[in-house]
Amino acid sequence: MNQENSLLKNQAFIDGNWCDAKTGNSFVVENPATGEAIARCALAGETEAERAIQAADKALNGWQQLTAKERSVYLYRLHELLLEHQEDLAQILTAEQGKPLPEARAEIQYGASYFKWFAEESTRIYGDVIPASSPDKRVICIKQAVGVVACITPWNFPNAMLARKIAPALAAGCTVICKPANETPFSALAFGELANRAGIPAGVINIVCGDTEAIGEALTSSQLVRKLTFTGSTSVGKTLAAACAKTMKRTSMELGGNAPFIVFDDADIDSAVQALVQNKFRNAGQTCICANRILVQNSIIDLFADKLSQAIQTLNVGNGLSETVSIGPLIHREAAQNVQAIVDDAINLGATPLIQATKSLVAPPFIKPIILKHVSNQMRAFKEEIFGPVAPLIRFDTEEEAIRMANDTRAGLAAYLFTKDYSRSWRVAEALEYGMVGVNDSAISNEMAPFGGIKESGQGREGSKYGLDDYLEIKYMSFGDTTAG
């Protein structure tokens, strides 16, 4: 990566200024593909988190008092700046996260799209006039910003996950404190630099990386923080939700998935295979919505497995900074070891590994794509979110059986089904207990659609016209005496 990259910032961003941690401490951020240090980053803690909360609170009134149109101008500027600096941002993202450069470039566009979308939506935050209960009353509802928002984001999409929290928050009139994952702080800190270049008032966006526990405690316990939005694992989501209950904060939780990908025997098999490869191996399988359990109808499972085996041979594993690579490393060695343990568990319990992609580095954190046949609901590969390039195939006979197996999980984020039968596509899509369902479609993420899950995959929606609601309170105003005098 070009060390002259002007978006590579390594201090906390508080109240419009860059600052070191008061302790002077910092931590090393490594490139997962090489293990080499990219740079050190200031290790913020409670002190910096408190300062960031104070700054966000101080900036709140001024930001809320702007007209929606004025706020939208800032969001449009951020959208333009993200696209203008797409290459520098993609280089930072791949260096710290590992995903191949083309995917990193696509992520920057994806993240930028939320700023444009919410720049537009921000000018359409309408209220209601409600028929009153008596002739002299007038009743209206207005929508107002929730207030100061804490955004805690993961390492798998370090730009887009933050973008889809900051953009609606700012559009609604909220100010934010961001705590990105320590594996990928630089993609997040770049937002600070771009916020300054966009002229966004000091304190509206604050970013602190470092001591996760201390920062998390400061954010969840503060009375000034009125909402917490989190993307990450279900277990951490539950801990944060419990901590937020003490101050009755609003929460949005985008948590883990266990996506079924159902292929019926009347599906276009080639399209289904292609859709699966794009979906399953995006970001080396480190995606909450990627296919986790591939349910294939009995009569086509062998053909499907053959075609899938052929398709994955074209995947090239290696350093994401090389333009020829299609699958980068996992985020760290432990992640790869965990994926390997899930594969070993399946094989020990009777699954058959099919051909793995060739031309690959093999040592963790790299891991070759693998197909597992004869997977059952007793195996970890069925029960857990794999978060790696492993495609477990599970056979089914009937539509009812497929639906039952697909819903046999506490997760409820994304599901996919492939069929040419129009009635079946409606029937099955409605029966699946998931927040998002792709029907003959595996690329379901975009700024116009409501991203989010049900059951233990969380609550709230990001993106779409619904995405603003999570950052708005409804105020009902009843005017009496309107007909007097």
156 binds ligand SIN (CB under 6 A): yes
Closer to ligand SIN by CB, 162 or 214: give it. 162
Work out whether strand 138-145 and strand 472-479 pair parallel, antiparallel, or are unpaired.
antiparallel
In the list 175, 187, 287, 326, the residue contacting ligand SIN (rule: CB under 6 A) is: 287
Number of residues that bind ligand SIN (CB under 6 A): 10
With CB under 6 A as the contact rule, which of the stretches 61-69, 261-269, 282-290, 339-347 interacts with ligand SIN? Answer: 282-290
231 binds ligand SIN (CB under 6 A): yes
Closer to ligand SIN by CB, 301 or 468: give it. 468
Question: Segment 158-177, which members bind ligand SIN (CB under 6 A)?
Answer: 160
With CB under 6 A as the contact rule, which of the stretches 155-163, 184-192, 261-269, 365-373 interacts with ligand SIN? Answer: 155-163
The answer to whether residue 288 is catalytic is yes
Smallest distance, ligand SIN to C-beta of residue 241, A: 17
Smallest distance, ligand SIN to C-beta of residue 190, A: 19
234 binds ligand SIN (CB under 6 A): no
Determine which one of 151, 174, 288, 290 is catalytic.
288
Residue nearest ligand SIN by beta-carbon distance: 445
Q: Kindly list the strands in the beta sheet with 259-263, ordered across the sheet, starting from the edge strand earlier in the chain.
A: 352-354, 370-373, 390-396, 291-297, 259-263, 414-418, 436-439
In the list 41, 167, 289, 391, the residue contacting ligand SIN (rule: CB under 6 A) is: 289
258 binds ligand SIN (CB under 6 A): no
With CB under 6 A as the contact rule, which of the stretches 18-26, 156-164, 235-243, 381-389 interacts with ligand SIN? Answer: 156-164
In the list 445, 453, 471, 472, the residue contacting ligand SIN (rule: CB under 6 A) is: 445
Closer to ligand SIN by CB, 203 or 232: give it. 232
The answer to whether residue 254 is catalytic is yes
In the list 63, 157, 191, 471, the residue contacting ligand SIN (rule: CB under 6 A) is: 157
What residues make contact with ligand SIN under the rule CB under 6 A? Answer: 156-157, 160, 231, 254, 287-289, 445, 451
Active site residue ranges: 254, 288
